[in-house]
Amino acid sequence: MDHDDLLTISETADRSGFSPSALRYYEREGLIQASRTSGGQRRFERHELRRLAFIAAARHIGLTLDEVRSALELLPEGRNPTKADWSKISRAWRARLDEEIRALENLRDGLEGCIGCGCLSLQRCRLSNPNDVVASRGPGAAFLPAALHPAGDP
């Protein structure tokens, strides 16, 4: 492999937008790979930038690292992924994105009334949540669609 095809951790961080510590973490987690120089310094192949862009997009839409890992495991080993490879794994996101879009539209359309937080501050809350019965579900906006709850929230 030509040395020009390898990037230092600083160059990779600059190009990807991830911090060096994030790159080291993603490498430890097996999401990206780096080789080492004789002095032990990391070198990343340029195609790792595509994997990092994929990770950024996946994290942005709310995929967990386990979901990212599962998706990346579908990519071929020993060669750079093609557009068809990337399309194959991103198709699985479509249903998830459609669900989030519907949930966001419902949230947008309900903002002038109530988003179901259980606060009893609006007249409508007395109808949707009499006597604050939703408080038993725990803190937060209990009526928000599941797609809009951060991972682990009710």
In words, the CATH class of domain 3-91 is mainly alpha
Residue given tokens 């120089």 in the structure block: 37
As annotated, the residues of the chain forming the CATH 1.10.1660.10 domain(s) are: 3-91
Greatest alpha-carbon span in the chain: 70
| Cα–Cα distance, 107 to 5 (Å, whole number) | 46
- The per-residue pLDDT for range 30-68, each reduced to its tens digit, is 999 999 999 999 999 998 998 899 899 888 878 889 988
Phi, psi of 116 (to 5 degrees): 75, 40
pLDDT of residue 117: 54
pLDDT tens digits for range 71-129? 888 887 766 778 888 788 878 778 878 888 888 887 777 666 555 554 545 555 655 66
